[in-house]
Chain A
């Protein structure tokens, strides 16, 4: 079983749609969780950290369920500029500055006019 698994995608959605990405992780001792966004042929960029209480940043909402070892990302009112690959990331250590960030393969999102 892979350490971090994501929906394979691709997700093709119209502008304005709501889209949800799911991710599971295998190491129950994992401490920190993130979503990164990666545009084609570019570096990954931090989208948001994920907390057990759930957190929201504008149109983006992230949730963590430690009991189920499950992470989600919801994007509301999709924009063309949201088209990218979304990477689910887990760190066995507290915070993300040290240690081995473990990435899923990513889910590609294409938002169409």
Chain B
């Protein structure tokens, strides 16, 4: 187990609604990244937070927004949901270091279905 937790595990919403997904990072990790994984695809980077600041963003529209709290947990908010937002949303935590083996550890994900 990575120690990264996400809630909820599953969620069903309708088009136009808003959703908030939550992530608790592994103890000692100060960086949280969010990814979207559509069916049959690899995960795609949404954004990353480092010490409560956004530290990089992928090719996602502004209706995808995030937040990181002082305890390094994080939220992903998606406004005006579209059918194509149906996916597995993965949170990954990490601690930037000097080693090439440093990497990101994923939580179990939240499966979002938009009807």
Contact = CB atoms under 8 A, between A and B. Distances in A.
Interface of A: 4, 31-32, 34, 41-46, 49, 51, 87, 94-106
B103 A97 contact: yes
A105 B104 contact: no
Interface centre among A46, A95, A97, A104 (most CB of B within 10 A): A97
Given A43-B106, A44-B90, A49-B101, A98 B42 contact: no
A18 B42 CA distance: 24
Nearest to B91: A43
B7 to A, nearest CB: 14
A98 B111 CA distance: 24
B100 A32 contact: yes
Chain A interface SS verdict (over half): loop
B102 A96 contact: yes
Given A43-B108, A101-B33, A95 B102 contact: yes
A34 B43 CA distance: 14
A95 B58 contact: no
A41 B107 CA distance: 12
